[in-house]
Structure 1
Amino acid sequence: MELYAKALTFAIPFFLILIIIEEIAARRMRRQINYGMDTISSLSSGMTNTLKNLMGLSIAIVSYGWMVDKVALFQIESTWLVYLVAFIGMDFVGYWSHRFDHKINAFWNRHIVHHSSEEFNLSCALRQSVSAIVGIYFFLYIPMAFLGVPGEVVAIVAPIHLFAQFWYHTRLIGKMGFLEHILVTPSHHRVHHAINDIYLDKNLSQIFIFWDKLFGTFQEELDEVPPVYGVKKPVNTWNPLIINYVHLWALIQDAWRTKSWWDKLRIWFMPTGWRPADVAEKYPWDYWKNAFDQVKYNSYPSKPLQIWSWAQLVVNFGMVFHVLVAFVSFQYLEVMIYAIFMMISIFAYTSLMDKAKIALPAEIIRFAMGIGLIYWNGGWFGLQELIPGATVLVGFYLTASLGMTYLILSKEGKAKVDVKTPELVSSN
């Protein structure tokens, strides 16, 4: 985990620089690819994923190291060959785990947050899950284990493979010639993020596009069908923590409401979007039947709310970066407490972006927890040793945040929020 934290201290600034470059390029091209609240939501989602990982909230049913010890039939000697096999193996695992996440009802909840943005840009690449806690795809690593790829090699290759998927989340790069036949390109991935019927659940590869061509899930981007981004059943919120569990909650409701015990059991493993017939008829879901009818979610934030939301993002990002930089000096309990505080913080300000009433109770809880931590520890997790007066600044921030949340909700809590009302389509 220390290696992960150290890697992110370099990767995150690099990602942010690329996001800024993309925005500058878009403005020069006179194209709008970012919407402020959506971008804040995406970056906040990235922070929640980072915090989840730092807390170690991952459960391996079977560890890769154990599999290698038990089933390895070969031992690859060449160093470069080991890393090449590991990278291709990771890509194979990535394709199939990605496909299962798209195709199986319960597993879609692990992945929905990544597709929830109705924009397509580099920041949406950072929409990563906090609900994918249990490592359910261990069996996909068996081929690599048979070949004897060491666990330490997989540990090095995995983050490289993940970070290499960032760059192609953009609308600014067109088709890339011969590379279209080898790698996943922005054009391929635009198709993947689209909700147009012809594009749905296509181009599931992560680095090498040949997996899609081999397994029948490839679709070229068509000039006559511009991609429309998001999810068929709109999430209608900027709060990444709510997005992470919105599909699971829908499945729980359906499982509870259906009268069929067989449907209560099978709903979890049926194709994504499947619903019991009795529930679908009585409680229809709102879907976009025609992608081109989509109306993007908009909470109509005032200028003060927009500015405050950006300020919250900057402050909270600074705190997350503090956790990364000081990770080696923290005790595990300190990491857990800090991360829980940050999760509450992100929940509070992204709820405020929605103008949701729950933002104020969440802010009160955060304020009480923050002041309590300062009182108990005599400071803010050692931050005062890096920044003189940091404890006072954090205390001021907590107070200001509570006050601003109350004021904004008082003035804007009943303002217009554009919640999508797509044509009703029964999913059964």
Structure 2
Amino acid sequence: METYGKILLIAMPAFLLLVLFEKWYGWRRGFDTVRNMDMISSLSSGITNVTKDVLGLSIAIISYGWLVDHLAVLKVPDGWMTYLVAFVVLDFAGYWTHRIAHEYNFFWNNHIIHHSSEEFNLACALRQSISSIVKIFAIFLLPAALLGVPENVIAVIAPLHLFAQFWYHTRHIKKMGWLEYIIVTPSHHRVHHALNPEYLDKNYSQIFIFWDKLFGTYQEELESVPPVYGITRPVQTWNPIRINFQHLWLLILDAWRAADWRDKFRIWLMPTGWRPSDVAAKYPVFKIGDPYHFEKYDPRVSTGMHIWSWVQITFCLLFISYLFGNIATIGSPAMFLYGLYVFLMVYAYTELMDKNPNALAWEIIKNIMGLSILYAQGDWFGASYLGPFIKPLLTAYFAGSTFVVAWFANQFRKERSGLQDAPPSHHLA
């Protein structure tokens, strides 16, 4: 956990700079593919994902170390070949876990967050799951285990393999010639993120595109079919925590409401999107029929709200940077309390971005928790070594953000009241 946290302290600023560069580049070229609130939502999703991972909040059905210890029949030679074998096997495993996440109802809940953006850009690459508590990934590393690839090699290659999937989430790089036949390119991955019927459930590969060609899931990006991004049942929120559990909640409701007992059980492993016929008829869920004619989610907010959202996520990034850099000193169980605060913070400010009436309540709960920690410890998890300004700065932030959010909530209330009080409009035919 500590090592991964240190890696993220380097990776996070790099990813953030690249996301902001893409925003600037698109604006400069007159082809801006990054909406502000969508970008903040994506970055916030990344924050929750890395916090969960650093805190170790997941359970593997079987560990790779156990597989190597009990099943290895060979031992690959030390050196670059070991790392190459590990990389290829990781990519093979990635293809199948990715495909399963798309093709089965239960596993789609672990992946829906990544496809929830209605844009396609570097920021949406950071939309990663917090709902994948139980991991099956190691099962697909069986070839590496049989070859005796050491666990420490997998531990080194795994983050590199993950980070190598970042760059191709962009619309600014067109087709890449002969590389299209070897690696996953932005063109391939635009297809994967599209909701057009021609593109659904295609191009699962993560680094090498030949897995899709080998297993029959490849689709080229067609000039006549421009990709439209998102999912067919749009999430309609900026809150990444709610997005992570929307599909699971629908499955729970559908299983409860189904009249046939067989449907209550089989719904979990049916193809993604399948619902019992009686439930679908009685409780319809909106689904995009025409990918070229639907309204993207984008609640209208003021410039001040955009600026305040950046203030909030900046503070959140500072909070998690301190957590990752000092997790060994913070220790357990304090680090889990810290993680809870981070999750609460993300939930609160993204609810405000959604203009939800309950945003102020979540903000108050978050700030009461922050003040309670600060004054119970007389410090913020030992951060006073950075300087005497920590305690007054955080006190000002917790108190000040409450008043700012209260002001925005009041503005939203007035806006809703004005809409309700407005006389109906009349149009001449």
Q: TM-score when scaled to structure 2?
A: 0.95
Measure, in 2, the Cα distance between the counterparts of 1:30 and 1:326.
42
Structure 2 equivalent of residue 306 of structure 1: 306
For 1:314 and 1:146, locate their aligned partners in 2 and report how far apart those are by CA, in whole Å: 45
RMSD: 1.1
Structure 2 residue runs without a partner (length 5+): 417-429
Contact 1:76-1:82 within 8 A present in 2 as well: yes
Between the two proteins, the alignment pairs up a number of residues equal to 416
Shift of 1:304: 1.6
Tell me if the contact between 1:22 and 1:122 (Cα under 8 Å) persists in the aligned partners. Answer: yes
Q: Which residue of 1 aligns with 2:240?
A: 240
1:341 matched to 2:341? The reply is: yes
**Aligned letter for 2:340?**
I
- Alignment partner of 1:388: what SS? coil
> What is aligned with 1:99?
99
Task: Assess if the C-alpha contact under 8 Å between 1:101 and 1:107 holds in 2.
Answer: yes
- Residues 247-258 of structure 1: matches in 2 within 5 Å? 247-258=247-258
Q: Distance in 2 between the 1:186 and 1:413 partners?
A: 42
Within-5 A mapping of 1:15-54: 15-54=15-54
Task: Give yes or no for contact 1:356–1:413 (8 Å, CA) kept in 2.
Answer: no
CA distance in structure 2 between the partners assigned to 1:2 and 1:414 by the alignment: 47
Residues 95-130 of structure 1 show CA distances to partners (whole Å, capped at 9, x for unaligned) of 000000000001000000000011111011000100
Separation of aligned partners in 1, 2:370 and 2:339: 12
User: Given residue 27 of structure 1, which amino acid in structure 2 is its aligned partner?
Assistant: W
Any conservation in 2 of the 1:33–1:171 contact (CA below 8 Å)? Answer: yes
Which residues in structure 2 correspond to 1:203-352 (within 5 Å)? Answer: 203-352=203-352
How far did residue 32 of structure 1 move? 1.3
2:77 matched residue in structure 1? 77
Change in Cα spacing, 1:415 to 1:72, as seen in structure 2 (3 Å) is farther
Alignment partners' CA distance in 2, 1:414 and 1:78:
68
| 1:254 partner letter | D
1:384 corresponds to: 384
CA, structure 1 residues 278+36, in 2 after alignment: closer, same or farther (shift >3 Å)? same
**How many angstroms apart in 2 are the aligned matches of 1:71 and 1:334?**
38
> 5+ unaligned residues in a row in structure 1: which ranges?
417-428
Does the residue aligned with 2:73 lie in a helix, a strand or coil?
coil
Over the matched positions of the two proteins, sequence identity in percent amounts to 51
Question: Tell me, what secondary structure is at the counterpart of 1:292?
Answer: coil
Aligned mates of 1:365, 1:76 — CA distance in 2: 54
| Cα distance in 1 between the residues matched to 2:20 and 2:237 | 24
Measured after TM superposition, the shift of residue 414 of structure 1 is 6.2
Which whole-Å CA distance do the structure 2 matches of 1:327 and 1:401 have between them? 26
Indicate yes or no: 2:113 matched with 1:113. Answer: yes
C-alpha displacement at 1:415, in angstroms? Answer: 4.0
Q: Which runs of 4+ in 1 moved over 4 A?
A: none
Q: What is the distance in 2 between the residues matched to 1:340 and 1:159?
A: 24
Counterpart of 1:185 in structure 2 is 185
Report whether the alignment pairs 1:166 with 2:181: no
Bigger mean CA offset, 112-121 vs 321-330: 321-330
Q: Pick which of 235-244 and 26-35 moved more.
A: 26-35
